[in-house]
Structures are given as structure tokens and as C-alpha cells.
Structure 1
Amino acid sequence: MGILSRASYVIRSKFNAILNRAEDPTETLDYSYEQMRDELQQVKQGIADLTTQKKRLEIQKRRLEENVEKHNEQAREAVQQDREDLARRALDKKKSKMNQIEDLEGQIAELQNTQDRLVDKKDELQNRIDEFRTKKETMKARYEAAEASTRVSEAMTGVGDEMEDVGRSIERAEERTEEMEARSQAMDELETTGAFDDALSDEDAIDRELEGGRTDREIDAELETLKAEFGKADADGADEESSAEADEAAAEADLEPSDEEVEAELEEIKQEENEGN
């Protein structure tokens, strides 16, 4: 097989495969059914045209038959008038019309035979169409059921084209997620080690450690100062609390009345009651 032949074979094979994938059997069956219906319609149209033509010949035949009867009457009347010449002419026309009628009868008979054959063909084609329609609907139902079953099976097993695309999408999403997680962890690690500070500052590692030591000493010194302040505040607070307690006791003592004051107050109350009585 030559190169061109092989290339042509490969192209035809691929083109045929594309057509097979694109072909929908249900649409093909419907198209075939419509084609058969069109053919049936053409047969019916042919029968109608043939019948019309036959009717025209039959009308023409009836007119000739009427002329034949007319020529018979003419011949009889011519004989009664002793006009043999007219009688011959009438009979001659009658003979001509009879020959035409005979030809028309032959044509009409031929058309009738053709019409009968077309009617038989139409009936046969109609039966075939009815049978094909039944098979078509059955095949469509079987195909749709098989297609639905195949889709369910592919969905369950994950081997269909759509499920394959879904699987690839999930894989790409997982890869992208892992990549982003790794990148985030790397950023955290770089931030912890101070790599970002190195990029944004002119200080080196020694400067940062010295700065950290100075900061620690300053914090320790400030802490000692705070401790000292809080220690003095506690002592002063204790003295103030003792003084406050002494003042409170004195105030309570001052508020408590003596026995003489109580007796005097009772006498005043008794006098007021007697005066009121």
C-alpha cells in the first residue's frame, strides 16, 4: 500500500469514526421514517395524477360514444331521405369515432393496470412504513434505555468522559491546594527565620542579636524599678490603713452616748407624755 493510499485510508477511518460518534441512532431512524413517508406521498401523488389522466380519457370516450350515436341517427335520417351519400358520410364518421373509442379503451385499460399496480405498491409501502414505525419506536426505546443504563454505569464506575473530566478537575484542585499549602508553609518558615527582615533591612544577624540583648537589659531595669515602686507603695498603704482604723474606732467611741445622757433623754420623754395627757 502506497503512502497516499495509506493516508487516504487513515483519513477515511478517522472521518468514519467521527461520524459514528456524532451519529444519533434515534435521529437516523426518524430520518429514514420520514424518507419512507415522502416516498409514500410520491406514490400517492402518482396514483392521483394517473387517475386524473384516466378520467380525462374516459370523458373523451363518452363524448366519442355520444358522437357515434349521433352519427347513427344521421345515417338513419339520411336513408329515410334517400340521401345515401349523407348516410355514407355519417357512417364513415361513426367508423372513425369507433376506432378512436377502441384506442381510448386500450389506453384506459393500460392506465387502469398501472393504477392497480401503484395502488398495490402503495399498500405494500404503507405496510412497510407501519412495520418500520413500530420497529423504530422499539429501537428508540431500547437505545434510550441502553444509553441511560450506560450513563449510570459510567457515573458509578467513573469511566465516562464527563466523570473523567471531573476526576481530572479534582486532581488539578488537589495539586493546586497542595502547592498553595506548601507555599504558605514556606512563607511562614521564611518569616520565622527573619529572611523577610533581611530583605527589608540593612541590619545583619549580629546587629539584631545585639539589639535583642539591649532590649532585654532595658526591660529588666524597668522591671526592677517597677518592683521597687510597688514595694514602697505597699508600706505606705499599710501605715495609712492602720491610721484609718484608729480614726474609725475613735469616731465610734464618740458616737456612743453615756448613761447620764440616756437617763436625761428618758425624763424628757416622760414629761412630754404627762403634758400631753
Structure 2
Amino acid sequence: MGIFSRLSDIINSNLNSLLDRAEDPEKMIRLIIQEMEETLVEVRSSSARVIADKKDAERRLNRLKSEALDWESKARLALDKNREDLARAAIAEKQSIDDEVIMVEKEFDSLDDHLAHLSEEIAQLQQKLNDAKAKQKGLLMRQKTVSTRMRTRGQLSREQLTDAFEKFEHYERRMDTMESQIEADDLGRDAKVDLKTEIDSLAKDDAVNEALEKLRKDMKQD
């Protein structure tokens, strides 16, 4: 089932209200445009049929008027020839045709009014369709803007994350450099030599202590 049940529903519709109530405005505007375009095709087809009927009525009207004039001419001729009976018959035929002319003229006027009404509806429908397409264009532009902003925001987030990683890697490199420097300073040192030196120091300390204790004893004896 379509969004609109009648042509008047389309003409009197409030696009903003329809889109505000829609869960998916983009889908709704596509459906609205599709139905408007289909309705416009139907109305134009109806107009084409009315135009054809109007042209047919016009042809019949011209033919009847021509026949009426012809019967009037025959009635005049009959009177000129003093044939009143024939003149009466010709006048009767003319009057019959005149009655038909009146009917066809009414039909022609009705078709003309109908065509004018359809033309007005087509104009209103076309305006509504233009408005709908403008709305659709606006929605697409908004969607494009939002998508661009989201991509930009995502790109900024990635750039910020990349910057943070780069700073962390830079800090790690500095730590590695400092540790490497310390390790480099220790290169070439003999662990055994360092141990011997430390033990020799302990022996020297013992010798010093013994000499100091001996000096104290000598001083007491004096």
C-alpha cells in the first residue's frame, strides 16, 4: 500500500511532518518520490486521454455545425423553389443537429474544465515532487557531512593514538640507550680481578688492625 491514498493526499501532504515521524527518513523520502512520480505519470496519462477526447469532441462539433449549415442551405433552396414541405424537413434535420451540437458543446466544455483541473493538479504535484527531491538532496548532503565528520574524527583519533605510541616508543628508546650505556661501561671489566682486589682489601684491613692493636699495647707499656 502506498503512502498516499489519493492525489489530494499528495498535494495536501506535509513533507516535514512525514519525515519527522519516519524511523528512516531517507527510505521514506525515496518512497514518497517514487509514489509521486508514479502518480504524476498516471495524471499525465489521464490528461492525454482527456486531450484526445476533447479533440474528438471538437471534430464532431465542427462536423455537426457544418451539417447544420448545410441543412439550412437546403431549407433556403427548398423555399426558393416553393417546396415548403422540403424546407420544413430540412429545418427539422437542422434542429435535430442543433440539439446534438448543444450536447457536444457541453461535453467539450466539461472536458475543457476537466483538463484545466488536471493541469492544475499536475502543476501542484510537480511542485510537491520538486520539494521532495530538494528534501532528499538535503538529507543526502547532511548524511555526507556527518559521514565526513565521523571519518575525520576517526582519523584524528588514530593520529592521536599513533602520536601516543610514538611518544612511548621514544621513551623506551631512551631507556634502552641509558641501560645500554651502563652495560657498555661494565664491558671489559674482569669479575675475578674485582673479587681478588676486594679480598686483598680485607687482608690489608686485618694487617692494619693488628698494627694498630700492637701500637696501643706499646703505648700502654710506656
Measured against the shorter chain, the TM-score band is: 0.5 to 0.7
- Partners of 1:41 and 1:151 in 2: CA distance: 41
**Corresponding pairs, count:** 137
The one-letter code of the counterpart of 1:55 is K
Q: Indicate the residue corresponding to 2:197 in structure 1.
A: none
Q: Indicate the residue corresponding to 2:120 in structure 1.
A: 120
Specify the SS of the correspondent of 1:82: coil
Root mean square deviation of aligned Cα: 2.4
The CA deviation at 1:29 is 2.7
Q: Indicate the residue corresponding to 1:142 in structure 2.
A: 142
The CA deviation at 1:146 is 2.0
The CA deviation at 1:67 is 0.4
Q: Indicate the residue corresponding to 1:47 in structure 2.
A: 47
1:70 maps onto 2:59 in alignment: no
- Partners of 1:59 and 1:103 in 2: CA distance: 14
- Say which one has the larger Rg: 1
Q: Which runs of 4+ in 1 moved over 6 A?
A: 154-158
Within a 5 Å distance, the mapping from 1:1-277 to structure 2 comes to 25-150=25-150, 153=153
The one-letter code of the counterpart of 1:122 is I
The CA deviation at 1:27 is 4.7
**Is this contact kept in 1: 2:32–2:132, CA < 8 A?**
no
The CA deviation at 1:135 is 1.4
- Partners of 2:32 and 2:148 in 1: CA distance: 24
Residue deviations 1:131-153 (CA, integer Å, cap 9, x gap): 21111101111023224434665
Q: Percent identity?
A: 22
**Is this contact kept in 1: 2:64–2:97, CA < 8 A?**
yes
Relative distance call for 1:151 and 1:29 in structure 2 (3 A) is farther
The CA deviation at 1:120 is 0.5
Residue deviations 1:73-122 (CA, integer Å, cap 9, x gap): 11011111111111111000000000000011111111111110110010
- Partners of 1:93 and 1:77 in 2: CA distance: 15
The CA deviation at 1:52 is 0.5
Q: Indicate the residue corresponding to 1:179 in structure 2.
A: none
Q: Indicate the residue corresponding to 1:184 in structure 2.
A: none
The CA deviation at 1:31 is 3.6
Return 5+ residue gaps in structure 2 as ranges.
1-22, 159-222
**Is this contact kept in 1: 2:58–2:108, CA < 8 A?**
yes
